[in-house]
Amino acid sequence: MFALRRKRTHCMPQRTLLRFEALERREMLTVNILTNTPSPGDLSLVGDTTGNAITIQPATNPGAANTYTITANTNASGVMTQLQLNGVALNSSSYVVGRSGDLVTGNISVNLGSPSGGGGQNTLVFGFTSPPSQHPNPVQGNLTIFDNANDTNTIANVHLMQGVTINNVPTTNVTNTVTNTVSNVQIGLGVVINNGGNTNTTISNSTLFSNLTVNGPAWPVIAANLSLTNCTIVGAVAVNNNLDPSAGGPFGNSSTTIAGGWLESTLTIANGSGINSTNIGSSSAPTQIGGNPATTAQIVTITNGSGASWTQFSGASASPLTVMGGVGITNGASPAYTNTVIFTYTNTAGRVTVNNGGTLLSPSQLNSVNIQNSTLGYLQQSALANNPLIINNGTGYDVLSITNSTVPWGAAVDNTVNDLDSTGSLSPAAVWGSNTSIIGSKLGTGQYGPNINSDPLHPDSTKAGVAFRLDGDNGDDVVTIGAAATAASTIQGATVLNLNGGNNSVTFKDGSTTCILNVTTGAAPGLSGNDTVSITNAAVTNGLNLALEGVTNKVTISGSTLPDTNLYPVHIVTHNVPISSNTLTIDTSTYGKLLLGVLEEISGFLITLT
């Protein structure tokens, strides 16, 4: 018989799996308020390596001078900054420095990153974002701000009796940008901004009683932008963007804008080899550079590296830009970019000098100078002033336009810079060409003008009395002198055009006048040249010399006044053969008057009377 056995069952307890849910990360942003540090009366604020945000406001109550309210704000990520006082945490989001006898009579230092610099995206407001109902007490000491590479600083509606320094930590991160905004402030001593990377600085509606200096870093990556709007700056303004000798030269992109206001001293801008833009003047508010009285000395100096450059001086008919001295502009030689210089409704007391280093792509890239509704070099209280317009263009295609403007001391343009060979002769390979137009303008019409013999590249004293001189290369040089809607052009002195090789064209028309017209052309070895001179309804009063040495030469004279050849010479000559390649078309009346004189020579041309 079998007995049945019940199988024993062992009951195992059920296991419960415990899951831990991660809590939200809480960052502690800390700014330590250090009173009487590093010296008695000083105030220092030091952050940590995260992004902090605070506001510092001087008291508006006259009885609370040298006290400041420090307020913690949320940073760009929405996290509230925590305050400490001399290393001890505060339970409040604000603290009044000075209420315990620690008055701030000295300097203020702010580093929201960390003592070693860097850390997070920090935001500082020093002053009031909108003007308070009662004027705040002045800040007694210097304000120094140390920045991370991605911070925002606002200084507004305060009066600083000393200076301001903003130091940015150097960086090569192109995505980081420091933004500085200064508005409605008065600053007694110098303002220094040391850029460490990409920086945007705007100063508006403010008065700086000393110098403004902006320095670029020793880094190859930078975009430095400065804007001055409706400011009065008593001291010198110097903008040194991204000069890096250790890396073999300057780098970076930059822009400087000055709109409205008065810069009472000098302006110096030095840009790197990136894309550089300088805009000076305003269409709505008067802008003046330089103090009174006016001077012939150069007070504006702008230097651009080998990248593309744009330099503009502009005002408006009701409020022209005034420069109480001279202007010097130097653009580096660019491999493939355009150098552009513009003067619009601008009056300069002293000489204007433009040195373009040149560009190798022609004519899509060029050296361009455009002058409209301006007077350049107006100061004439002495014949020693001698303030001509000087333009020196390096290799490349060159454009000059002077419209409705006055250049009292005359103008000299040299398009052959860097185009000379080892013997000092113009290289046959210099075939870039140029386009020059003088429309409705006056050159050399001042009381002591013209006189451009002071050009350092052309010191020959025999050039005294030249109102306009142009030296062209072996490319196609086109020159047009004519009238605008309201007036013809007047060149009160000699017009000297040395156009060299290429297919050159000169048009003198529309009631324009010059004392002497001297045109010289030639064909460089191995190059052809077809040269054309047209004098239509114009006046040449004291001498005409056309020496055309192209392969074919064409001269047309109609409805114009030529010199009395009993008193002044007229020479229209060429040595090119055959003579059938050279034509002179002239109206009968004008030609008849030439034959009556004794200082007339026409040779090498087939003459056609109309």
pLDDT for 1 beyond 60: no
Higher pLDDT, 465 or 326: 326
Backbone φ and ψ for 487, nearest 5 degrees, come out as -160, 155
pLDDT band at 74 (very low <50, low <70, confident <90, very high): very high
Residues 6+ apart with CB under 8 A from 146: 109, 110, 111, 113, 117, 167, 169
* Model pLDDT for residues 371-381, shown as the tens digit of each residue: 999 999 999 87
Q: What is the CA radius of gyration of the chain?
A: 35
Tally Cβ neighbours within 10 Å of residue 382. 10
Judging by DSSP bridges, how do beta strands 81-85 and 88-89 pair with one another?
antiparallel
Strand-pair category, 366-372 with 339-344: parallel
Mean pLDDT of 310-321: 96
* pLDDT tier at 242, thresholds 50, 70, 90: low
Q: Which two tokens stand for residue 256?
A: 């400087």
- Of 372, 378, 388, the C-alpha closest to 347 is 378
Q: Average pLDDT in the 393-422 region?
A: 90
- pLDDT of 2-59, one tens digit each? 344 444 444 444 544 444 444 444 456 799 999 999 999 999 999 988 889 999 999 9
Mean pLDDT in residue range 190-197: 90
The tens digit of pLDDT for each residue in 85-108 reads 999 999 999 999 998 889 999 999
What percent of the chain clears pLDDT 70, i.e. is strictly above it?
A: 86
Look over the chain and give the mean of its residue pLDDT values, rounded to a whole number.
88
358-to-262, 391, 415 alpha-carbon distances in Å? 33, 12, 9
The first and second tokens of residue 114, run together, are 């960390």
What number is the average pLDDT over the span 219-242?
Answer: 88
What pLDDT is recorded for position 386? Answer: 77
* Mean pLDDT value of segment 503-512: 97
How would residue 192 be classed by pLDDT, with cut points 50, 70 and 90? very high
Q: Helix %, strand %, coil % for the chain, to 5?
A: 5, 45, 50
* Region of poorest pLDDT, from 151-165, 314-328, 440-454, 477-491: 440-454
Which of 598, 608, 508 is closest to 561 using CA atoms?
508
Q: What's the pLDDT score for residue 6?
A: 42
pLDDT score at 359: 74
Q: What is the pLDDT of residue 239?
A: 95
Q: What's the pLDDT score for residue 225?
A: 93
3-state SS record for 292-346 = CCCCCCEEEEEEECCCCEEEEEECCCCCCEEECCEEEEEECCECCCCEEEEEECE
- State mean pLDDT over 61-80: 94
What does the alpha-carbon distance between residue 334 and residue 356 come to, in Å, rounded to a whole number?
A: 9
pLDDT value at position 396? 87
- Greater confidence (527 vs 183) lies with 183
pLDDT for the residue 334: 77
Alpha helices in 507-605 (DSSP H): 588-595
Domain locations in the chain? 27-184, 211-379, 391-610
Residue 457: the pLDDT is 45
The answer to whether residue 335 scores a pLDDT higher than 80 is no
- 3-class secondary structure, 198: strand
| Range 164-191 average pLDDT | 89
Predicted confidence at residue 595, as pLDDT, reads: 84
Determine the average pLDDT of the residues in 484-506.
93
- What's the whole-number mean pLDDT along residues 313-332? 96
Four-residue CA torsion sign, 130, 135, 137, 139: positive
Q: List residues bridging with 392 in a β-sheet.
A: 355, 414
Mind listing the pLDDT tens digit for each residue in 199-218?
899 999 999 999 999 987 65
Contact call for residues 136 and 155 (beta carbons, < 8 A) = no
pLDDT of residue 224: 87
Region of residue 364 (left: phi > 0; alpha: psi -120 to 50; beta: else) = alpha
Does a cis peptide bond (omega within 30 degrees of 0) precede residue 525? no
Contact 96, 66 (CB under 8 A): no
Helix (H, G, I), strand (E, B) or coil at 461: helix
CB 308 within 8 A of CB 275: yes
pTM: 0.91
For 428, other C-beta atoms within 10 Å of its C-beta total 16
Contact 254, 223 (CB under 8 A): yes
**Do 242 and 216 contact (CB within 8 A), yes or no?**
yes
Beta bridge partners of 224: 199, 254
pLDDT value, residue 3: 43
pLDDT at 361 over 70: no
pLDDT for 168 equals: 85
What number is the average pLDDT over the span 426-446?
91
Mean pLDDT of 271-281: 91
> What percentage of residues in the chain have a pLDDT greater than 90?
68
